[in-house]
Amino acid sequence: MTASTFQLTINPVTSAEFLRWLKQQGCVIDPTRGKGGHVLVTRGDRRSIVPTHGSSKELGSGLVNRIKRDLGLR
């Protein structure tokens, strides 16, 4: 199998599911620090903003990976 034919399937995740997972990883969620449908998530001295634009809206895989990297989870 060549690299061009290999595809990685990532399950879509909603913001509520992702925030629940982040909390299990030891992150602190502070909804009072975000604006307009966003919350601040901290883990130690690292922080990131997570959008919460609805319970059924899915976050893109790139955004999820960026937030994980920002928080040192990757």
- pLDDT one-digit tens code per residue, 39-48: 999 999 999 9
β-sheet with 46-51: strand ranges across: 28-30, 38-43, 46-51
Q: Is the pTM of this model over 0.85?
A: no
End-to-end CA distance of the chain: 26
Rounded CA gap, 36 and 16, in Å?
A: 16
Instruction: Name the CA radius of gyration of the chain, rounded.
Output: 14
Domains and CATH numbers, the chain: 13-70 (3.30.920)
Determine the pLDDT at residue 46.
97
